[in-house]
Structure 1
Amino acid sequence: MSESLAPLQETLARIAEQGLVLDAEDLSRTTGISSAKDVRALLNGKDLADDDIDTRIRERVQLLCRRCLSENGKDYDDKDAVTALAKDIAGGIGVSIVWARQLVLGEKTPSMKHGHQLTRYFGVPDGFLTETPAAALNRALQPYLQIEHKIEADLDDPLAALKERFGLVGVARRGEPLSREEAKRFAGLIADVLQQNMEDQS
């Protein structure tokens, strides 16, 4: 197992515990991985053959360009649209239009400096152009773990869940600290009262 695949396997194991269904097509678009087939392979624990990093960068730049054109109802067959995109990129990252056009067409590999500027231009995370497929997929899956953390936090702190549910600034009481079970009962009592008040006012 490669070093970049190991963290992904840990992430997938935690997501599997939640029983979530992952959309390979959507993850392909989010990560820049060339195909949903490759995403499925990674989700199934398989490693992908190492690719040339320059090729990876050029392909991901083209993916971003293709996405940008598609959002405007255009594609690579529209030479005027490609030229307009190249001009916009040239102005955005400070290169010549000729060089930007070669970049859009996958004929040039951006330097580290221009690669960083391109990620900002397209609004994608740093590292998007250079990450291995496994690392890119692991990054894209992190929001699922944040959901897991939130669920765990809510289970551990019933009063925090109560505050979020009803938009409360805080919940105060006198006396000794509550056990988790006591906090659950206390939160349930307050929730019932608040819910009844909301229904009375509606």
Structure 2
Amino acid sequence: MSEFPAPLRETLSRIAEQDLALDAEGLSRRTGISVQHIQTLLDGGELTDEDVDTRIRERLQFLCRQRLAESGRTYRDREAVAALTKDIASAIGVSSVWARQLVSGEKTPSMKHGHELTRYFGVPDGFLTETPAAALNRTLQSHLQNESGAGGSPADPLAELKSRFGLVGISRRGEPLSRDEAARFAGLIAEVLEQNMEADS
């Protein structure tokens, strides 16, 4: 068992002081950690230490599922998985065979490729390797910052979208978006995600 980390304890204390509501399922979608483990950490419990390679492979598969879900696809859609695999291979400079093994969870990426994968998926450095407690603490810190800035400058439409649907990241190419463009872009994504949620219900 790993000792309950002080940074997470302090963050949870700040959240309790501000009486902020937490959604274990939403936190799970943003961290790649199971709802059960999220709840254990929120309750002050400890988790059994896990193998780092296993953690990396599971987090990578989580990111792949998230990326497929953005277009209403799943791992069962071979064409979509093949397209994602090809895109990843091109993005991080590996063969299609190696990328396929990464996507399927058969192989663990090197440190270099792990960094390139976090850039590709638009998630923070260390997302693939950080412990569940560290991942939860990072996400809760972001939650606190969003809440403390609620009365300040206009909210980021893409940040609101990620918070609303529990997205880890939103990856796009091209020039930076203006606030109006970001709002329209977020609206289109929200519409697609809402339709997918209705279809699944």
Fold match, TM over 0.5?
Answer: yes
Name the counterpart of 2:9: 9
Q: How many residues align?
A: 154
Rg (Cα) greater in structure: 1
| Cα 1:58/1:11, change in 2 over 3 Å | same
Q: Which amino acid aligns with 2:69?
A: S
Q: Which has the higher contact order (CA 8 A, sep 6+)?
A: 2
Partner SS for 1:41: helix
Given that 1:62 and 1:106 are in contact with CA atoms closer than 8 Å, whether structure 2 keeps it comes out as yes
Name the counterpart of 1:47: 46
- In structure 2, C-alpha distance between the alignment counterparts of 1:6 and 1:121, rounded to whole Å: 31
Given that 1:25 and 1:36 are in contact with CA atoms closer than 8 Å, whether structure 2 keeps it comes out as yes
- In structure 1, C-alpha distance between the alignment counterparts of 2:143 and 2:114, rounded to whole Å: 28
| Cα 1:42/1:137, change in 2 over 3 Å | same
| Pairing 1:159-174 to 2, within 5 Å after superposition | none
Name the counterpart of 2:18: 18
**What is the TM-score when the length of structure 2 is the normalising length?**
0.71
Runs of 4+ off more than 4 Å: 1-4, 147-151
- In structure 2, C-alpha distance between the alignment counterparts of 1:93 and 1:4, rounded to whole Å: 35
CA deviations over 1:5-51 (Å, ceiling 9, x no partner): 22101100011001111011111111111x11110110000011111
Given that 2:8 and 2:137 are in contact with CA atoms closer than 8 Å, whether structure 1 keeps it comes out as yes
- In structure 2, C-alpha distance between the alignment counterparts of 1:120 and 1:51, rounded to whole Å: 24
- In structure 1, C-alpha distance between the alignment counterparts of 2:56 and 2:64, rounded to whole Å: 12
Does 1:140 pair with 2:139? yes
Name the counterpart of 2:187: none
Runs of 5+ consecutive residues of structure 1 not aligned to the other structure: 155-160, 166-202
Give the aligned CA root-mean-square deviation in angstroms. 2.1
Given that 2:2 and 2:47 are in contact with CA atoms closer than 8 Å, whether structure 1 keeps it comes out as no
- In structure 1, C-alpha distance between the alignment counterparts of 2:147 and 2:72, rounded to whole Å: 37
Runs of 5+ consecutive residues of structure 2 not aligned to the other structure: 155-201
Given that 2:58 and 2:105 are in contact with CA atoms closer than 8 Å, whether structure 1 keeps it comes out as yes
Deviation at 1:146, TM superposition (A): 2.4
Identity %: 68
Deviation at 1:150, TM superposition (A): 5.1
Name the counterpart of 1:73: 72
Given that 2:3 and 2:46 are in contact with CA atoms closer than 8 Å, whether structure 1 keeps it comes out as no
- In structure 1, C-alpha distance between the alignment counterparts of 2:149 and 2:84, rounded to whole Å: 41
- In structure 2, C-alpha distance between the alignment counterparts of 1:138 and 1:90, rounded to whole Å: 31
Partner SS for 1:74: coil
Given that 1:116 and 1:126 are in contact with CA atoms closer than 8 Å, whether structure 2 keeps it comes out as yes
- In structure 2, C-alpha distance between the alignment counterparts of 1:91 and 1:60, rounded to whole Å: 20
Partner SS for 2:62: helix
- In structure 2, C-alpha distance between the alignment counterparts of 1:142 and 1:121, rounded to whole Å: 23
